[in-house]
Amino acid sequence: MSLTAQTIRTILAALAVSVVIVASTSEAATQEEPKKAGGSTVRGVVTYSDTGRPLRNARVGLLRDADGDTVSESYTDHHGEFVLQGVPAGRYALLVDAQGILKPQGLTTRRNPVIAQVRLYDKRDLFTEVVVNGTDGVDVKVHAVRGGVITGRVVTDDDQPLPKADIKLLRLENGEWEPVEHTWNTYRNRKELMTDPNGVYRIAGLPAGDYLVRVSEQDVPLGGNPPDDAYGKGSMMLTYYPSATSIPEAQVVTVVEGGESTGIDIRLPPLTPYSISGRVLGPGDEAGVRARLKIHRKDEFDYAYDLYDGDIYTDSDGSFRIPGVPAGEYVISIADYIELRDGENTSSRMVAPKRISVRVAGGDAVVPDIKLTPGATISGKLTLDGKIPKNIYDLVPLLVPAGDDTGASGASIRHKLAKTFRINGHPKDGSFQAGALPAGKYWFAMSVVPNEDFYLKSVIRKGVDLTQSPLRLKDGAVIDDVVISFATDFASIEGEIAPAAGQGKHRVVEATVVLAPATDAMRRILTEPRIEHSDAQGRFAFTVPPGEYFVMALTPAQIKTLPPLNDDYFKTESKKLTRVKIRGGEKLKGVKIPIGVN
Amino acid sequence: MTSTTKIRMLLFIALMCLPSIAAAQKETPAAQSIITGRVVFADTGRPVRRATLKLYTSMRLGPTRTTAANIRGEFRFSEVSAGSYFVVAEAAGLLFPRSAYAVNEFGIGSDTEMEHTQVTVDGSNSIRCEVRAFRAGTIKGTITYVDKEPVLAGRIVLFRRKGGVVVPFLTEAASTNDRGMYRIDGLPDGEYFVGVAAGRLPLGKARVSQEEVGIPTAYYPGVTDISEAKPIEIQSGSEITGINITLNENPLREISGVLKWRNTGKVAHPAAVIISRKNEPRVDLSLGTLYESMANDQDGGGSILRDFSLVSRSVPPFLMVEKNGEWKFIDLPPGKYVVTAFGAPPKDEKANTRDGAAADDSGSHQRIDPDRVVFQQVELTLEDEDLTDVTIELPVGSRILGTVNVEGSEPIKASILVDQRGGNELLLSVPHHNSPDGSFMLDGLPTGEVILDADVSGFPDSYLKSITLGGQDLLREPIVLTEGAEVAGVRINIAKGLALLTGRVQFKEDAAPAAGGGVLLVKADSKLWHLRSSRRFAMTNAAGEFRVTCAPGEYLVFTWPAGNQPFQSIVEFVRLQASTARTVTLQSKEEKRIELTVAKPKK
């Protein structure tokens, strides 16, 4: 023990000193950026858009439009004023980061210009555009918009306040309830998204819209031998405002910007914790040992994390028990790597992931034995321009279950990644092998992260291009002759926006140009639309994989009235949109597109 | 990577290196007792839903068991071995030992004046107990500007007054929301002062500690000096609302300048500056305090994180000096300030680096060598104008050379502590170490009276016997250094043969065990009171028992009940209580037992 104390002290000394050492390795910077040689100075004042009064102690950041990098940042002072020095020439989006203030939502990628992205998504400017020439200073007036607020109290079924309850929000977007990312994607103990000791919560800075409020209890360490009805995983016990156990029964909260939706009180109905038990077996009926199980609510499967946070494993005879589950519909999925034990023999194996639906109602649920199968295997070669790729780790095509291959718009990246299988090539010879694939129908698709260096050209097996027709896998199938070809012969599309009828020579200056895949196959190759600004002469250019596209140009006013740009939109409006077809390496010039969609 | 990320990574690595400490008692054969019970609120009798229950043998150890109650507050611990235990309930809104901390020279104390439920089992019986949970107090308010707009992200600072002494008090970090509203929970009964720090914090890499709060801008009801602040009284879990502060219109000012080396006039870089308000209660950040707090706290893993996090929040505004020696603190309210600068002098070309640290001046990887740091402090008064062009000069440090000698044994690696009269409160009072052959060199020492001390409590059965220079007793007569002096021949003498004092503390009123209380042994010789090596701390367990090893000698013994850790400095406390303290004298290797009594805390 005494030696340990000595070690502790030595380590703590090192840690405390490391505060200074670590600090001293970074560049010293005072409140304002030190005067750099050259660069413009951006001065400004931030005021609340509703009262006109200064917004103090708010962080302002200048993001470069081209790549989203924060070039400079500062805090506003007592007058709401700020100074950003040494800004190189360019176009920027100035963002305000302060509690309760609305921020742009649509910034998802560094590929498309910041301003074009957020304008298209938010349909309004929650930023201030700043253009500097690298020498002269500019003055800006920034208006900060107060978002809406949802606040209320959470009580138990016997009217006692529920502290440390976790709050998550869903917002209605294009007819679907989508998770409000910052309430789901956060480390669970974030104070603002938890009820206080009086059960009160308050979430500010929300864009206008319709919301659902979802409450779950806190997780507590369970340990030892607690009473049978004690439960540790409070995240299983969830309720929607006002007291509903499912989304259809939940009541919608309409949020107005600058206003407060108060009294959004949630009362937990009595939720009895039941259990789900069963067994996991291997292909030859061996016990599936140490298999990790994940459990989701069925209606949240697309966007929620595993409710049990990966804590459930099968034991040495393959059986499992998930305690603390209230009535509801669930999906249990089994991860892909388990041990199979058959009497004395154990072997580790990859098995195909499996999902089963379970309904819990009125009592403990016992599911039929879950039999895992080895799944199918596909193998073959990965090539880049016909040769073994040098950086093969960058080339990761995906195998996407057919039906889940929602294309360029709509589904969030998390939806896609949850159900896809990655194909990794071997650096030595470009060969790949993907095993333990569940039986089914699949599409090959480009990896979700957009790429400028190569695109998925074709996937050939027995003369059939699997980017155009799906691959059907039977359980246990072994397919070994797949050639996945990537290519670098991007094409380019250049053009200009034709002036609107009746406008004569007057050029449209400020337009956002959108290039979207025109077919389902293209949606698997270009996984998100490309967006650009047209220049001062209304010209634009895109570098894209060869294929078929829609091109459209929109003014900010037109963006506001546009319906969401998802796959359905492009299918419905296809006749009104300019369609472009282009081959590998082709440079298409002089494309004329009208402004707006008629 | 930000500093916080690096610190967290280092913490992680450090914790991985710690041998795993079995916090649980070794299970004896008789470990079949069952403790069941129910947690209820003491005031309403209603159950505390899904409270976390912890079983402790001593509040200095980690919990031996943890479990959760069900929705009716019912819990069960099974397979419990014989012994006496505290049963502690933790939940939001409750008072429990770790819900709040006072940080002072006595260490980091979880300060809650409540009696813990205690049970005793014999290893085979089952018992049932009711755990009464006490509500913690709450302070709420709104902080706005004169134009009624809210103060956003205002960091709340809290102080507590006890026995006339005001100390920083730490609960979960609180800050204002989008309406400027805040709430502080977890407060035991007492008198509090609330302040808010609403100034701008350095951005990104410039901020050393991501948990830095900054200089408080104002205290309730709206004053800039804590001596004028109005106390807020919390009793029995009361909720006090309306503790509002309106920040006045007066502009906040800056203090800035340049840091140089006195002997060369060159700019000092790498170097750092810290600022604090004069006479404002501060957390004693010297590592010695943390060591004391940890010396008897065997719950290694959890406490390090907690202690380090508390210390991080208490770091005063801290800046790295720029390459041209400039530094600037902004958003300061008027008042008296102390600015402390520190840095390590540039290395000579021929000096070999001690730890191979890069001596390159390329800029991006320079370090302040902790073995050679020098300090300089200046006092400034900020009124209604910025103070710019403040030049601070770092002196040439002095040096002490010597050896660590262990009676009849090979040298050990001692922690050598350097202090100045009045205490060195900086994070950089880092202990020095001697080389394996016993020799040491202390560099960068300040001018004036320097106190040397050594900590060998990490080594079995060892204690500091004396520190001498020729015939001079440096423990009783501090060494006086002139600038740039070099003093050689200091001997730090370590001996072996610790004594052991065990004992029991009971309440005067009813002879019940004073469980979870504190015990302090201080050498009776008043000339030694200021030295860390002359103090030993212990804590009583659930049966009121304690044990502490110490160097042979005559001691004063002090004790206080749970939750009543004294707020004064240790020297102040000892001075006040010395005349009524028990004394005990121990020879080397002697074991003695003592019975102590203490008065129950007044409500």
Nearest in space to B197 (alpha carbons), one of A57, A282, A504: A57
**B295: phi > 0 → left, psi -120 to 50 → alpha, else beta; which?**
alpha
Query: Model's pTM, two decimal places?
Result: 0.86
User: Å from A131 to nearest chain B CA?
Assistant: 24
Which chain A residues are closer than 8 Å to B154 by Cβ? 57
Please confirm whether the linkage preceding B411 is cis (ω < 30° from 0).
no
Range of the domain at B241: 138-247
The domain boundary, picked from A121, A144, A167, lies at A144
Which pLDDT does position B62 carry in this prediction? 77
Size of interface A-B (CB pairs under 8 A): 257
Whether A229 is covered by a domain: the verdict is yes
* Cα B558–Cα B562–Cα B563 angle in degrees, nearest 5: 110
**Domain harbouring A530, CATH code:** 2.60.40.1120
A222 touches chain B (CB under 8 A): yes
Assess whether B276 and B389 both reside in one domain: yes
Assess whether A161 and A135 both reside in one domain: no
The domain boundary, picked from A267, A294, A324, lies at A267
Which pLDDT does position B284 carry in this prediction? 62
Whether A27 is covered by a domain: the verdict is no
Q: How confident is the model at residue B270 (pLDDT cuts 50, 70, 90)?
A: confident
Whether A35 is covered by a domain: the verdict is no
Q: In degrees rounded to 5, what are phi and psi of residue B337?
A: -125, 155
Q: How confident is the model at residue B488 (pLDDT cuts 50, 70, 90)?
A: very high
| A136 vs A448, higher pLDDT | A136
Q: What is the pLDDT of residues A330-340, one digit of tens each?
A: 999 987 667 77
Nearest CB to B320 within list A14, A23, A74:
A23
Assess whether A570 and A521 both reside in one domain: yes
Q: Starting at the edge strand that comes first in sequence, how are the strands of the sheet with A539-544 ordered? A: A539-544, A491-498, A587-594
A187 touches chain B (CB under 8 A): no
Q: What is the mean pLDDT of residues B314-338?
A: 90
C-beta of residue A276 within 8 angstroms of C-beta of residue A367: yes
Scan for tokens 């707006």, then name that residue: A596
Q: What is the mean pLDDT of residues A431-458?
A: 85
Q: What does the H/E/C string look like for A148-186?
A: EEEEEEEECCCCCECCCCEEEEEEEECCEEEECHHHHCC
Whether B325 is covered by a domain: the verdict is yes
Assess whether B154 and B230 both reside in one domain: yes
Which pLDDT does position A448 carry in this prediction? 63
Percentage with pLDDT > 70 across chain A: 88
Q: In a mutagenesis test of the B interface, which of A2, A7, A24 is the best target, namely the one with the most B β-carbons within 10 Å?
A: A24
**Domain harbouring B405, CATH code:** 2.60.40.10
| A267 vs B153, higher pLDDT | A267
Which pLDDT does position B374 carry in this prediction? 84
Range of the domain at A572: 491-594
User: Å from A228 to nearest chain B CA?
Assistant: 8
Whether B355 is covered by a domain: the verdict is no
A2 touches chain B (CB under 8 A): yes
Which pLDDT does position B291 carry in this prediction? 53
Whether A50 is covered by a domain: the verdict is yes
C-beta of residue A460 within 8 angstroms of C-beta of residue A483: yes
Greatest Cα-to-Cα distance within chain A, rounded to the nearest angstrom: 89
Whether A309 is covered by a domain: the verdict is yes
Q: In a mutagenesis test of the B interface, which of A220, A229, A233 is the best target, namely the one with the most B β-carbons within 10 Å?
A: A220
Dihedral angle at the C-alpha atoms of B527, B528, B531, B535, nearest 10 degrees? Answer: -140
Interface contact A226-B70, CB threshold 8 A: yes
Cα separation, A463 vs B444, whole angstroms: 78
| Count of the separate structural domains present in chain A | 5
Cα separation, A87 vs A137, whole angstroms: 9
A residues 363-382 lying closer than 8 A (beta carbon) to B? none
Whether B198 is covered by a domain: the verdict is yes
Whether B94 is covered by a domain: the verdict is yes
Which chain A residues are closer than 8 Å to B9 by Cβ? none
Assess whether A412 and A334 both reside in one domain: no
Assess whether B103 and B168 both reside in one domain: no
Whether B443 is covered by a domain: the verdict is yes
Q: In degrees rounded to 5, what are phi and psi of residue B120?
A: -130, 130
Residue B189 has pLDDT above 50, yes or no: yes
Residue A491 has pLDDT above 90, yes or no: yes
The H-or-E segment that residue B399 falls in is strand B398-406
Q: What is the mean pLDDT of residues B482-494?
A: 92
Q: How confident is the model at residue A35 (pLDDT cuts 50, 70, 90)?
A: very low
Q: How confident is the model at residue B314 (pLDDT cuts 50, 70, 90)?
A: confident
Assess whether A432 and A499 both reside in one domain: no
Interface contact A13-B459, CB threshold 8 A: no
Whether B178 is covered by a domain: the verdict is yes
Assess whether B59 and B86 both reside in one domain: yes
Which pLDDT does position B206 carry in this prediction? 67
Whether B356 is covered by a domain: the verdict is no
The domain boundary, picked from B67, B102, B133, lies at B133
Q: What is the pLDDT of residues A513-529, one digit of tens each?
A: 999 999 888 888 887 88
Assess whether A391 and A473 both reside in one domain: yes
Assess whether A103 and A56 both reside in one domain: yes
The domain boundary, picked from B86, B103, B133, lies at B133
Which chain B residues are closer than 8 Å to A74 by Cβ? 203
Assess whether B172 and B88 both reside in one domain: no
Assess whether B149 and B273 both reside in one domain: no
Whether B381 is covered by a domain: the verdict is yes
Cα separation, B536 vs B106, whole angstroms: 11
Which pLDDT does position A504 carry in this prediction? 59
Which chain B residues are closer than 8 Å to A16 by Cβ? 287, 290, 308, 311, 427, 430
Q: What is the DSSP letter of A556?
A: H
Interface contact B203-A56, CB threshold 8 A: no
Interface contact A29-B206, CB threshold 8 A: yes
Q: How confident is the model at residue B9 (pLDDT cuts 50, 70, 90)?
A: very low
Number of other residues whose CB lies within 10 A of the CB of residue A228: 11
Nearest CB to A3 within list B200, B370, B458:
B458
Query: Does this complex have an ipTM over 0.95?
Result: no
Tokens encoding B340: 């402390």
Residue A283 has pLDDT above 60, yes or no: yes
Least confident piece of the model among A62-71, A130-139, B562-571:
B562-571
Assess whether A134 and A159 both reside in one domain: no
Interface contact A4-B19, CB threshold 8 A: yes
C-beta of residue A551 within 8 angstroms of C-beta of residue A580: yes
Residue A587 has pLDDT above 50, yes or no: yes
Q: What is the pLDDT of residues A284-312, one digit of tens each?
A: 888 888 888 999 999 888 788 888 887 89
| A184 vs B6, higher pLDDT | A184
Which chain A residues are closer than 8 Å to B427 by Cβ? 16, 19-20
Residue B231 has pLDDT above 90, yes or no: yes
Whether A15 is covered by a domain: the verdict is no
| Count of the separate structural domains present in chain B | 5
Which pLDDT does position A240 carry in this prediction? 97
Residue B17 has pLDDT above 50, yes or no: no
Cα separation, B586 vs A350, whole angstroms: 67
Which chain B residues are closer than 8 Å to A26 by Cβ? 3, 205-206, 320
The domain boundary, picked from A452, A487, A522, lies at A487
Q: What does the H/E/C string look like for A341-408?
A: EECCEEEEEECCCEEEEEEECCCCEECCCEECCCCEEEEEEEEECCECCCCHHHCCCEEEECCCCCCC
Which pLDDT does position B559 carry in this prediction? 94
**Domain harbouring A57, CATH code:** 2.60.40.10
Q: What is the mean pLDDT of residues B573-601?
A: 94
Q: What is the pLDDT of residues B329-359, one digit of tens each?
A: 999 999 999 998 988 887 764 344 444 443 4
Which chain A residues are closer than 8 Å to B428 by Cβ? 17, 20
Which pLDDT does position B57 carry in this prediction? 85
Q: What is the pLDDT of residues A344-361, one digit of tens each?
A: 777 877 788 888 999 999
The H-or-E segment that residue A415 falls in is helix A413-419
| A259 vs B318, higher pLDDT | A259
Q: In a mutagenesis test of the A interface, which of B49, B64, B71 is the best target, namely the one with the most A β-carbons within 10 Å?
A: B71
Q: What is the pLDDT of residues A51-103, one digit of tens each?
A: 999 999 999 999 999 989 999 999 999 999 999 999 999 999 999 999 999 99
Whether A283 is covered by a domain: the verdict is yes
Q: How confident is the model at residue B59 (pLDDT cuts 50, 70, 90)?
A: confident
Percentage with pLDDT > 70 across chain B: 83
Scan for tokens 């006013």, then name that residue: A557
A19 touches chain B (CB under 8 A): yes
Tokens encoding B84: 């006496």
Q: Mean pLDDT, chain B, as a whole number? A: 83
Which chain B residues are closer than 8 Å to A146 by Cβ? 178
Which pLDDT does position A596 carry in this prediction? 84
Least confident piece of the model among A122-126, B290-294, B385-389, B545-549:
B290-294
Assess whether B533 and B575 both reside in one domain: yes
Q: How confident is the model at residue B61 (pLDDT cuts 50, 70, 90)?
A: confident
Percentage with pLDDT > 90 across chain B: 49
Please confirm whether the linkage preceding A113 is cis (ω < 30° from 0).
no
Which pLDDT does position A210 carry in this prediction? 98
Which chain A residues are closer than 8 Å to B252 by Cβ? 78
Interface contact A205-B52, CB threshold 8 A: no
Beta bridge partners of A64: A92
Assess whether B260 and B338 both reside in one domain: yes
Assess whether B106 and B217 both reside in one domain: no
Assess whether A362 and A278 both reside in one domain: yes
Which residue of chain B is at minimal alpha-carbon distance from A74? B203
Q: Which amino acid is at A156?
A: T
Which pLDDT does position A499 carry in this prediction? 75
A residues 257-316 lying closer than 8 A (beta carbon) to B? none
The domain boundary, picked from B247, B265, B291, lies at B247
A69 touches chain B (CB under 8 A): no
Assess whether B281 and B377 both reside in one domain: yes
Which residue of chain B is at minimal alpha-carbon distance from A21? B367
Whether A2 is covered by a domain: the verdict is no
**Domain harbouring B242, CATH code:** 2.60.40.1120
Cα separation, B103 vs B76, whole angstroms: 34
Which pLDDT does position A38 carry in this prediction? 82
Nearest CB to A232 within list B11, B68, B178:
B68
Q: What is the pLDDT of residues B132-156, one digit of tens each?
A: 999 999 999 999 999 999 999 899 9
Assess whether B148 and B241 both reside in one domain: yes
Assess whether B521 and B436 both reside in one domain: no
Cα separation, A525 vs A514, whole angstroms: 16
Q: What is the mean pLDDT of residues B384-398?
A: 92
Which pLDDT does position A339 carry in this prediction? 73
Tokens encoding B517: 């209380």
**How far is residue B3 from each of residues B208, B271, B305, measured CA to CA in Å?**
6, 16, 16
| Highest mean pLDDT, choosing among A374-388, B95-109, B303-317 | A374-388
